[in-house]
Structure 1
Amino acid sequence: MQLKDKNQKRLILIDLDGTTLKDDHLSINPITKNALQDAVKDGHIVCICTGRSLKDTLHIYNELELDTLLVTLDGGHISDPVHKNFKRLVLPISKEVMNGILSHKILKNRIENIIVEYYQSNMIQNGADNFFVVDANAEKPAEGNILTDWNGPCSNIVVKLNTNLDFYNVVDTLNEEFGNAVSVKSNLIYGVENIGEKPIIIITNKFVNKGFAAEMVAQYYNKNIKDVIAFGDQMNDFEMLKTVGYGVALTSGNPKLKEVAWKITDLSNEDGGLGDTLNKILK
């Protein structure tokens, strides 16, 4: 498969974990790093679109020497770290809704740990169980009692349960009672599904998804969404790959994501699949 017009300057959206980054969640294969930086030099626009929070993403943004819009928290936060011409867009969950969820009877005696994230801060209930941090370079969250020590709204609520008993009923109940405000997603840590003995629930503002973010970024840069290229590997990239004209799934990614992809990479994220494919379709 080829782009319709190789001379056109593109908007290129890139997921991080499992896509741009290698399996260590820290490093970028040189093939991918060089391809992205070459694309920028050639006049294309590269934007990160990740489930990570802002402060856990900035070191990668800076390593790639980007100055574009930055999408974090799966589209819950869009910012302009360098130029600051784009007014920060935050899709929050109110403090009242957050407290209502965490105090709900369906979660009583089921919670092992909690992380809440906002665009500039995060807090973990039990810092000894750092279950949600995969990047050793990321700043550790503050520790505290979420219900009493966290002030104001948040963008993400990540709940680790101490049992998988009746798990789907928990997810369905929270969606039924709080679905006007939030979306409750089961077991997607940075997009990776992992239902185990102690499952994870991630809760976001109901409008948050990477497809929405892709349209916002394309609008800002005056790009037709059907001309946009996007790379992803897991189900939190589903809406983004389905929304853009050229959605590319990593060969090492989720099989369900590959079903909506325009193209699948020949190489894994570990081997520089993003960079290898980008070079092939742009040149």
Structure 2
Amino acid sequence: MQLKDKLKKRLILIDLDGTTLKDDHLTINPITKNALQDAIKDGHTVCICTGRSLKDTIHIYNELELDSLLVTLDGGHISDPVHKNFKRIVLPISEEVTKSILQHPILKGKIENIIVEYYHTNMIQNSADNFFIVDANAEVPVQGDILKDWKGPCSNLIIKLKTNLNFINIVDTLNAEFGNAVKVKSNLIYGVENIGEKPILIITNKFVNKGFAAEMVAQYYNKDIKDVIAFGDQMNDFEMIKTVGYGIALTSGNPKLKEIASGITELSNDAGGLGDTLNKLLK
């Protein structure tokens, strides 16, 4: 894959886990880090677009020395951490809907743990079970009884079930009953698969996806979406990869994502595939 105009200043959208970050979910391969920082020096704009919350992302944003918009919660939250010129966009789930889902009869006796995330805070039901944490540098959420202690809307509701019995029926039932407000996804936290005896439900506002976020960020920076480059590795990157002009999947990523990508990296995320491919595109 080649860019039509290498002199054009690009918007570059990067997923984190499995894409920018190595498999330890902590570190960035020097090839990738240097390529991103070189792109910024050359006048391109780099924006993180991740499923993580702001609290779990800001240290990586700072490590890369970014000052651009930041997309978190798979597009559920778009903010401007440095300049504060962009009025944040938050796509919420109401407190009423959140608690109605948690009290739904189909989930009775089946919930092992819960985490609720909003743009500036998060809460976990049982902090001893860190089922969602992939980054030791991320800020640990407060512990609380979600039904009693959580007040107001949320952007993300993550539910760990005790069993996979009737799991598909649970997903279908919740989507059918709450589909006007939310969408229920399964088994992907920050792009990391969690398939097994205790499956995961990820519930977001129905309009949340990275494709919507890509269009919003491109509009803000006055970039034609056809000129935008995006890197991702899992199905939460699907809309973003499909929406932009140059959607690139990691070779170590989901096969279904590779099918719709404009290109595929030669190297894995661990080996610096994002940086290697970006260098080849821009230089």
Structure-1 residue corresponding to 2:201? 201
Aligned to 1:82: 82
CA shift for structure 1 position 192: 2.9
Identity score, percent: 84
Q: CA deviation at 1:186?
A: 1.1
Runs of 4 or more consecutive aligned structure 1 residues displaced over 6 Å after TM superposition: none
Q: CA offset at residue 188 of structure 1?
A: 1.1
User: What is the CA–CA distance in structure 1 between the aligned matches of 2:194 and 2:4, rounded to whole Å?
Assistant: 38
Partners in 2 of 1:61 and 1:180 — Cα distance?
33
Give the whole-Å Cα distance in 2 for the aligned partners of 1:260 and 1:163. Answer: 33
1:149 alignment partner in structure 2 = 149
Aligned residues: 283
Supply the RMSD in Å over aligned alpha carbons: 0.5
Shift of 1:189: 1.1
How far 1:15 moved relative to its partner? 0.2
Query: Any idea what SS the aligned residue of 1:215 has?
Result: helix
* Shift of residue 157, structure 1, vs aligned partner: 0.3
Separation in 1, partners of 2:62, 2:36: 13
Give the residue type in structure 1 aligned to 2:274.
L
Paired amino acid for 2:178: F
Cα deviation code 1:209-263 (max 9, x no counterpart): 0000000000000000010000000000000000000000000000000001101
Q: Answer whether contact 2:17 2:192 (CA < 8 A) is retained.
A: no
Whole-Å separation in 2 of the counterparts to 1:147 and 1:4: 53
Structure 1 segments unaligned to the other structure (5+ residues): none
Paired with 1:270 and 1:209, the residues of 2 have a C-alpha distance of: 25
User: Which residue in 2 is equivalent to 1:172?
Assistant: 172
Q: Pairwise mapping of residues 45-56 of structure 1 onto structure 2 (< 5 A)?
A: 45-56=45-56
Aligned mates of 2:273, 2:22 — CA distance in 1: 10
Cα deviation 1:54-93 (Å, max 9, x = unaligned): 0110000000000000000000000000000000100000
Alpha-carbon shift at residue 120 of structure 1 (Å): 0.5
Deviations 1:172-213 (A, max 9, x none): 000000000000001111123332100000000000000000
Q: Quick one: distance in 1 between partners of 2:77 and 2:274?
A: 24
Aligned to 1:23: 23
Mapped partners of 2:256, 2:229: distance in 1:
19
Equivalent residues in 2 for 1:78-157, closer than 5 Å: 78-157=78-157
State the partner residue of 1:255: 255
Aligned equivalent of 2:188: 188
Unpaired runs of at least 5, structure 2? none
